[in-house]
Structure 1
Amino acid sequence: MDAQLKRGFLDVCVLASINRQDSYGYQIVKDVPPSLHLTESTLYPLLKRLETAGMLTVYSVEHNGRLRKYYRITERGIAYLNDFLKEWDDIAAVYEYVKRGATA
Structure 2
Amino acid sequence: MAIQVSTEILEGSVLALLTKEDYYGYAITREIKKVFPISESTMYPILRRLKKEDWLSTYDEAYEGRNRRYYKITDQGLERLEEIRSNWQELKAATDAILEGKNEE
Flag whether TM exceeds 0.5 (same fold).
Answer: yes
Q: Which structure shows the higher helix fraction? A: 1
Could you tell me whether the CA contact under 8 Å between 2:19 and 2:73 is conserved in 1?
Answer: yes
TM-aligned CA deviation for residue 57 of structure 1: 0.5
Structure 2 unaligned blocks of 5 or more: none
TM-aligned CA deviation for residue 34 of structure 1: 3.4
TM-aligned CA deviation for residue 29 of structure 1: 1.2
Could you tell me whether the CA contact under 8 Å between 1:6 and 1:36 is conserved in 2?
Answer: no
Partner of 2:52: 52
Amino acid at match of 2:80: Y
Partner of 1:85: 85
TM-aligned CA deviation for residue 31 of structure 1: 1.3
Given the two structures, how large is their TM-score scaled by the length of structure 2?
0.84
TM-aligned CA deviation for residue 40 of structure 1: 0.7
Could you tell me whether the CA contact under 8 Å between 2:14 and 2:28 is conserved in 1?
Answer: yes
- SS state at 1:57 partner: strand
Partner of 2:43: 43
In 1, distance between residues paired with 2:89 and 2:45? Answer: 29
In 2, distance between residues paired with 1:33 and 1:95? Answer: 24
Which stretches of structure 1, 4 residues or more, deviate above 4 A after TM superposition? none
Percent identity between matched residues is 31
In 2, distance between residues paired with 1:13 and 1:58? Answer: 17
In 1, distance between residues paired with 2:10 and 2:86? Answer: 17
Given the two structures, how large is their TM-score scaled by the length of structure 1?
0.85
- CA RMSD across the alignment: 1.6
Q: Tell me the matched-pair count.
A: 99
In 2, distance between residues paired with 1:97 and 1:87? Answer: 16
In 2, distance between residues paired with 1:7 and 1:88? Answer: 12
Could you tell me whether the CA contact under 8 Å between 2:8 and 2:84 is conserved in 1?
Answer: no
Could you tell me whether the CA contact under 8 Å between 2:12 and 2:85 is conserved in 1?
Answer: no
Partner of 1:100: 100
